[in-house]
Amino acid sequence: MKSLKHSLLAMIVVALFSELAIAQKLPGLDPSPADISYLRQDGRKSAPVLKVTYGRPLKKGRTMLGETEPYGKVWRTGANETTEIKFYKDVTLGGKQIAAGTYSLYTIPGKDEWTIIINSKLDTWGAYEYEESKDVVRFKVPAGKPEAEVEAFTIAFDGGKGDATMMLAWENTLIKIPVKF
């Protein structure tokens, strides 16, 4: 009898919590989840040189670069909030000196080359509040091709110990930005 009471009580508790969980209607997963990419001096256990926080939009069968994200227009370099880049020390990015600090990373995609923009205005959504007067540096890099099509927009690093490459990859486009520190 005691066992039956415990079983009934357990079923009631489970039913109540199930109803509460359904009633909460929590948001689902973001279709363009946030990601962070670090460049470290010498592997995972060493001090960071820079960190990029960005949204990772997916291609989902669409043509993104040149259509959904038009060529020649300032882009947030990802999805949702404007991509932010934090330099833990002074670095040279694309041949341009940048002081330690946190900045927005915008780009202007092109078929053959991209303009990379480091901007001082922070905490914005998209490129709607982009102000050219807040640009810290601006430079161009050639557009290349990855080995295979890239479904999710990706920012990654290759190298370390003073020299690295920051890579932006999406669809059939690969951008390589030299980093010296």
pLDDT tens digits, one per residue of 137-175:
999 999 999 999 999 999 999 998 899 999 999 999 999
Q: What is the average pLDDT across 49-67?
A: 96
**30 or 124, which is more confident?**
124
What is the residue type of 155?
I
Work out the average pLDDT over 32-53: 94
Residue 13 token pair: 């508790």
Q: Which tens digit of pLDDT belongs to each residue from 59-112?
A: 999 999 999 999 999 999 999 999 999 999 999 999 999 999 999 999 999 999
Question: What CA–CA distances, in Å, run from 6 to 9, 14, 109?
Answer: 5, 12, 64
Residues 180, 160 contacting (CB under 8 angstroms): no
Res. 42: pLDDT tops 80: yes
The rounded distance, in Å, linking the Cα atoms of 43 and 87 is 17
